Structure 1
Amino acid sequence: MTEPKTPHLSNIEKWRKWKTEKDIEAKKQLIEQYLPLVDYVTSRMAIGLPKTVSKDDLYSNGVMGLIDAIEKFDYERGLQFETYASWRIRGGIIDGLRQGDWVPRSVRDKAKRIEEAYQLLEQKYLRSVTDAEISDYLNVSEKEFTGILQEIAVTTICSLEDPIREEESETRLSLLVDEKAKNPDYKVHEFYLKESLVKGIERLTEKERTVVSLFYYEELSLSEIAEVMSLSPSRISQLHSKAILRLRGALAKNKDQLLQNT
């Protein structure tokens, strides 16, 4: 005797049955429906990661992020689930990468030094600083600076998911995704942090802004961006790294100022 087929539910009906009735079958259907999103995010994040990082592991962690998104998403708010889930999937993958400690401490230290250099020099000069000025501050040649950027490139792919401060859970991306209404004090902090992000983007060079826009908003891969801009993939990787390190420095500076004023 064959088992009766599970009825195919409409999308809104799946969400209703899962959220209001805790129907496990509806949840399974939602997971299956959005698994291609995990494939997409995993493929994008795998670009530039060391070959030692298993894509299967990335996918598994991404699925956990998807499940987390389905459990926490409020479908009645009329928001786009794909956008919300993409951040949760990325978060799941990055949590897995952190647990695997895939980036050597020395590489993280180099990234931190450059981030601090951007933060201090751009605060001092009130403008976008050049590679020569950063190299001089770090006491390295411009060629060595370029090599360092290439070395730390893989760390900047995930950097917007990192906490603003090491001891906190608030991430830079949390400034861009409004999951629930926050209290007034939080909204004030959020406003100034978003303002800092906007100012940081304005301080990027034209090429850096283009790379950030194409990668994070148009969702092109680094190799696709290289083709669009007629530059080498390694050059695009360097531009991306510099852009992210500038933004991280700007956000960290703003966060410190807010803490001093509270």
Structure 2
Amino acid sequence: MPAPDLQALVERYLADPSAVRREAAVLAGVPLVRSIVGKVPVPAHPLASREDLEGAGLVGLVEALNGYDPKAGASFLTFAYLRVRGAVVDYLRSLDVLSLAKRKRVAEAGRVAEALRQELGAEPTDREIADRLGLGLADYDQLMVEAQARFALSLDAPAGPERDESLHDVVGDDGAGAGFDTADQAHTLGQVRTVIEGLPSRTRAMVGMYYDEGLTLREIGAVFQVSEARVSQILGRTLLSIRARLEAEVEAAVA
């Protein structure tokens, strides 16, 4: 049996609202919610289970259904994607995923990774970074999971299921692209690509699967036969590397 056409169900509901049609449209949007939640690392918090995040996403889906106007030109999938992801992000932010001390530790980890990269002329190992930070490997791995959870909230990527996505989407905090001109974006993308190209092949493949192909952490883990947490650690460290490289170049430019 083919999947119900989300766009058609939404338009049918908007043309003639009823509880039955509303429920049908919402149910058809559940796979979208689960797909978005599947790409968000779940932090260690008693109120941050997959079910909690899906509940927040469903709230966003209903809000999208209430606010959607087909005449605006965007498909409901694109419109709802942004609303659902925004609702999940807002929910996680409300939990204060990282304390100030851990945020500083995450930033320090990025700087240490970049310093080691410059010293070694190659990508440092997890052990090398952990040793420089004075952390055990297990503690460092957990920090990377938390870093990925935080960056999943603050980064713009992915922009949506129906858009061509660029690696620029995976760097910077909220609004980082505001005010950028084309030259700025091109330069930033060039820097990001340089970092990505220097990554080990497996890490590079994971980044592509996550940001370009839209696979969930669980799906990527299945491909490489590693845990979802391990994928999250690798992506967290990669994002730290990208941001540290960009920050280092900015500091050098203004020095």
The answer to whether the 8 A contact 2:6-2:25 is kept is: no
Tell me if 1:11 matches 2:15.
no
Structure 1 counterpart of 2:129: 134
Structure 2 unaligned runs (5+)? 160-167, 171-176
Structure 1 counterpart of 2:162: none
Structure 2 counterpart of 1:116: 111
Separation in structure 2 between the aligned mates of residue 87 and residue 122 of structure 1, nearest angstrom: 36
Q: 1:255 to 1:92 in 2, by over 3 A?
A: farther
Structure 2 counterpart of 1:4: none
Tell me if 1:49 matches 2:43.
yes
Q: Which SS does the other structure have where 2:17 is aligned?
A: helix
Q: Work out which of the residue numbers 147, 171, 176 in structure 2 matches 1:155.
A: 147
Q: Work out which of the residue numbers 177, 194, 203 in structure 1 matches 2:198.
A: 203
Tell me if 1:243 matches 2:238.
yes
Deviation at 1:69, TM superposition (A): 5.5
The answer to whether the 8 A contact 1:115-1:248 is kept is: yes
The answer to whether the 8 A contact 1:69-1:88 is kept is: yes
Separation in structure 2 between the aligned mates of residue 16 and residue 161 of structure 1, nearest angstrom: 33
Structure 2 counterpart of 1:176: 169
The answer to whether the 8 A contact 1:204-1:246 is kept is: no
Q: 1:66 to 1:191 in 2, by over 3 A?
A: farther
Deviation at 1:96, TM superposition (A): 1.1
Which residues of 2 match residues 93-112 of structure 1 at below 5 A? 93-112=88-107
Tell me if 1:186 matches 2:181.
yes
Q: 1:31 to 1:130 in 2, by over 3 A?
A: same
Using the TM superposition, name which of 84-93 and 105-114 deviates more.
Answer: 84-93
Amino acid at match of 2:145: A
Q: Per chain length, whose mean CA-contact separation is higher, i.e. which structure has more relative contact order (CA < 8 Å, sep 6+)?
A: 2
Deviation at 1:205, TM superposition (A): 1.6
Amino acid at match of 1:154: E
Structure 2 counterpart of 1:3: none
Q: 1:245 to 1:187 in 2, by over 3 A?
A: same
Amino acid at match of 2:113: Y
Structure 1 counterpart of 2:223: 228
> What percent of counterpart residues are identical?
22
Deviation at 1:156, TM superposition (A): 0.2
Aligned length: 233
Amino acid at match of 1:148: Y
Amino acid at match of 2:211: Y
The answer to whether the 8 A contact 2:144-2:237 is kept is: no
The answer to whether the 8 A contact 2:144-2:234 is kept is: no
Q: Which SS does the other structure have where 2:181 is aligned?
A: helix
The answer to whether the 8 A contact 1:118-1:246 is kept is: yes
Q: 1:57 to 1:118 in 2, by over 3 A?
A: same
Using the TM superposition, name which of 110-119 and 51-60 deviates more.
Answer: 51-60
Give deviations 1:127-154, integer Å, cap 9, x for gaps: 533445534543x26xx14531224413
